[in-house]
Amino acid sequence: MPLRKGDILAQLQKYRSDDAVILGAVDSARQLLKQSNTAGRHAGIEIMVCNFSAAEKEFRESPLFTESCQVLLIVPLIVFNEQFLKELEAAIRSFAMSQSLLYTQYFQSDAGMFGLVQRVANSTERYLKRLRAVTEEKPEDESAIVEELTPRLEVHVPTK
Amino acid sequence: MYDGIVAHSKAEVREGMEALGRGNPDAASKHFWNAMDCLADVQDDRRRRDELGPLAIYYVALELYDLALIGAHDAIVLDKKLGQPRQLAEDIVTLGNANMRLGKMDEATENYTEALQLCLDNGDYDNAASASTNLASILANQDKMREATTLLRNSLDYLTKKPHPNTEKITRMTLIQVLGLQKENPEELIDVAEKLLERFGHEIPRGMIDTIRPYIDDAVEQYLKANPSIHPLKWKLAHFPRLY
């Protein structure tokens, strides 16, 4: 039996993310979505970020689960896996530590690049927590990072 | 109480070094991150800072600037909480070093300036010299030679109050280059170089001597030209026996 809009939302609500930084970026993306809605193409499209870390096997095998992001046209809703966004955020924050690509250590040594990939993939939460702490008292740096993350959300919006 | 975690952290660093020695940077990076990551579980702030601060310095030396920056930042937060001005200044210098290597010159300048003031307020003259010399390097790279010269002279002055051989070596080498580029004061350059080679000549690698050698040669030529009554070879042998 096909899933109904109400069932889909009810099921996803259980996993709704409560990560303040990610949700802040999602809010900005919502604004961008509204602003880009000149032709009414995106009317009513919502964005939801879900933390699927505690999801059961059954849910993970359902069409509602995504490793990254997907559009559920029936709602219509764009669903993001929180883990996917956190990995993006960790990568953005890591590169933001250097002034430019010229200085980034990730392109200067294998150890630097391999180390980053491992940390982002295997210690996302712990690594991101440390990275977020670095800009905690620097609102300008922090908002630049959230700004950088926002278009990553926006580009996934379907255009037709 | 946290000996186990600290021992684990040190073991991870050792394994990281061994992995680097085996030519396996992939594994090395994992160990270096683990070494820092596990320290987050040390609940004793002082203990955690005392591990994080030196680890961040070590990571700067290993060119792992992102980890160094994270470690130094965490150490600074703890120093402020614990009210440890000397350690705070040291950790701010480490943060400045990481920022400088990551090309963040404005942040690094801010870090060194803050550290310098903090050290002077607390009479930590060796750390003040380190901050002052690092700040001078940034200014010299921005062609602000006069400001850089003043800071380097100040560093040498601080080091007379509290010696630190490695900082003195770096300061003298930097000052030689800065004075050499200005070509205005060969006497001072000669004096700085003479003392550098007298004190540290035996331990400075040839390659590093080669970087400052042209400036010394120029200053010596300039000095001898201005003082024609001096016998050049005798003077050179008397003042720079390691070079001539």
Span A47-106, pLDDT tens digits: 899 999 999 999 999 999 999 999 998 888 999 999 999 999 999 999 999 999 889 989
Tell me the pLDDT band of A160, cut-offs 50, 70 and 90: very low
Please report how the helices B125-141 and B105-122 are oriented relative to each other, as an axis angle in degrees rounded to 10.
Answer: 150
CA B162 to CA B168: how far, in whole Å?
Answer: 10
Task: With a cut of 90, say whether residue A154 has pLDDT above it.
Answer: no
- Comparing CA positions, the residue from B155, B161, B99 lying closest to residue B131 is B155
Long-range contacts of B111-118 (CB under 8 A, 24+ apart): B112/B138, B115/B89, B115/B90, B118/B85, B118/B88, B118/B89, B118/B92
For β-strands A77-81 and A46-50, DSSP reports them as parallel
Q: Which residue of A has its CA nearest to B106?
A: A99
Q: Which two tokens stand for residue B222?
A: 């300039």
Radius of gyration, alpha carbons of chain A? 17
Which member of B33, B74, B104 has the closest CB to residue A123? B33
Which member of B63, B66, B105 has the closest CB to residue A97? B66
Tell me the pLDDT band of B229, cut-offs 50, 70 and 90: very high
Per-residue pLDDT at A140: 86
Task: Please state the φ and ψ torsions of residue B227, each to the nearest 5 degrees.
Answer: -130, 75
**In this structure, which amino acid lies at residue B80?**
K
Q: In chain A, where are the structural domains located?
A: 5-84+150-154, 86-149
CA B196 to CA B193: how far, in whole Å?
Answer: 5
Which member of B26, B32, B102 has the closest CB to residue A97? B102
- What are the chain A neighbours of B105 within 8 Å (beta carbons)? 99
- What are the chain B neighbours of A99 within 8 Å (beta carbons)? 102-105
Q: Which of A93, A95, A98 to mutate to test the interface with B (most CBs of B within 10 A)?
A: A98
- What are the chain A neighbours of B17 within 8 Å (beta carbons)? none
Three-state DSSP class for residue B133: helix
| Reported pTM | 0.86
Q: Which two tokens stand for residue B17?
A: 């070094």
CA B97 to CA B80: how far, in whole Å?
Answer: 19
| Run of H or E including A7 | helix A5-13
Q: Which of B63, B66, B97, B141 to mutate to test the interface with A (most CBs of A within 10 A)?
A: B66
Task: With a cut of 60, say whether residue A157 has pLDDT above it.
Answer: no
pLDDT digits (tens, 9 = 90+) for B106-162: 999 999 999 999 999 999 999 999 999 999 999 999 999 999 999 999 999 999 999
| Run of H or E including A69 | strand A69-72
Per-residue pLDDT at A42: 65
